[in-house]
Amino acid sequence: MTIKINGRDLTIEDVIRVCRDGEKVEIAEDAKEAINRSRAYVEKKLEEKAIIYGLTTGFGKFANVPISFEETAELQKNLIISHTCAMGEAYPTHYVRAAMLLRSNNLSRGYSGIRLSTVQTMVDMLNAGIHPIVPEKGSVGSSGDLAPLSCIALGLIGEGMVEYKGDIVEAKEAMEKEGITPVELAAKEGLALNNGTQMMTAVGVNVLWDAMKLLKIADIAAAMTGEAQHAIRKAYDPKIHEIRGQEGQIIEAENLRNLLEGSENARPLHKTRVQDPYSQRCAPQIHGASRDAINYVYDVVSREMNAVTDNPLVFADDDEVISGGNFHGQPMALAFDFLKIAISELANVSERRIERLVNPATSEGLPAFLTKHGGLHSGYMIAQYAAASMVSENKVYDHPACVDSIPTSANQEDHVSMGTTAARTAAMVLDNAQKVLGIELSAAAQGIWLRQCMGQHGIDQLAPATRAAYEYIRTKSDPIEEDIVMLDELAKFDELVKDGEIIDVVEKITPLK
């Protein structure tokens, strides 16, 4: 199914289908009309020799420098090649594909003054799998993502390097093989291509999508740890959560109740124990707060994907070209800083549950460090260290990027968002959190197996949902009888979390919200 873009109703699910699954893209007919109408107005203004920022003037601090009509095309090309100042490792392909889609969608609204043929060329490159190489570093998030978007535009004009069918080749070579003609930029087009928030949004929407999956995996992990530690599920009683009224908390409590429905393990071993530690008892409150934050980010990102964020903007029907600041990434910077904190908290509480599993003082009778042969074997001792390391590393990345503005362009651009840094660090936090949740799933499964070995309630007494999760885990990893190379073991669980199939397995038993 082809995704039709018009700048108005692109969804997060659409973006994921295009950037990860290779779904084809098409410009809607109404969008083509809007693009053509806007371009006709720009050409009319050029004929009238109107003074318009970015068309007949320089950029940034050079806004007061006039540019002749004859130089307007050269101005746009110079803008692109001079602004390709990104550095560092290249963004993964799916981030670049998302940025190309979002940029094309932005231009499809018909407020940018670009030619339809130029937008179509970007869509053709996307559909042909020609992806410009875009280094990760160099954007301050205002005027949008100038450096990375310029790198994408560089490929559009047939310069620079691209990723094509698994190889790194010259853009001209890839375009020639696909029968795509490089763009010769016309007036306004360079500015339309590199002004905006599409790179930060491309990174952020991918992190957001995986964070939504991670919420469910965090619930599965908490439930499995609860099975291994004989958690008291009464703490998830809906009456408790309804009288607080926090939506995310209510949903999380419901998920945990459903996951543990039918469990004979989820009750205390000793009647004198009336409550669990916060990491287990308050899982609905903690996971729920992250859920509410992630839902907020979902709404902000959904709006930004269909926003017009370049400058100046062309309002042909009103006979106006207005220079404003929609390229400023502050809405996304705040959202992605919030997102990384929300993800980080899922890892924080997961590490505390891991610690309780491996600590004989708190594990409700499980062997120290989840090994039968303590002393000779270390079991999960250092797995908990690894989780602690990544949780602490996340605290460094969690520093909000948006509070660290720095002036650019000779103080013409005196406040910037750092939104791309927020998105990039959110991706780093996500990777760590996925690894920590993987360690918890591994440790919880080991704890359940040990209960069975000890003749206590174990595998046979699991809830149907957690048993499905446990049995799925055992298709990937055997119980650990003696010490093994743990890096190989933990890598399996990192992949298990990232591919998300465990969610599908569990949801065949009970739906998760």
Map 131-156 to HEC letters: EECCEEECCCCCCECHHHHHHHHHHH
Can you tell me the distance from the alpha carbon of 235 to that of 222, in angstroms, rounded to the nearest whole number?
Answer: 13
- Residue 53: active-site member: yes
Q: What is the pTM of this model?
A: 0.95
Element (H, E) at 168: strand 167-170
**Domains (ranges, CATH) in the chain?**
3-196 (1.10.275.10), 204-306+339-507 (1.20.200.10)
Contact 121, 177 (CB under 8 A): no
Q: Give 77-135 as a DSSP string.
A: HHHHHHH---EEEEPPHHHHHHHHHHHHHHHTTS-S---HHHHHHHHHHHHHTEEE--E
Mean pLDDT of 246-254: 97
- Residue-wise pLDDT for 401-426, tens only, equals 999 888 887 777 778 889 999 999 99
pLDDT recorded at residue 406: 85
Each residue of 127-167: pLDDT tens digit?
999 999 999 999 998 888 999 999 999 999 999 999 999 99
Produce one character per residue of 16-32: b if its CB has 16 or more CB atoms within 10 Å, e if not.
bbbbeeebebebbeebb
Count of alpha carbons within 13 angstroms of residue 43, beta-carbon side:
9
Distance (Å, rounded) from C-alpha 185 to C-alpha 210? 37
* pLDDT per residue as tens digits for the range 215-244: 999 999 999 999 999 999 999 999 999 999
Selected catalytic residue, list 41, 53, 91, 111: 53
The SS3 assignment for 158 reads coil
DSSP bridge pairs for 87: 137
pLDDT at residue 470, as a whole number: 98
Rounded to whole angstroms, the Cα distance separating 350 from 505 reads 21
Q: What value does the mean pLDDT take over residues 329-356?
A: 97
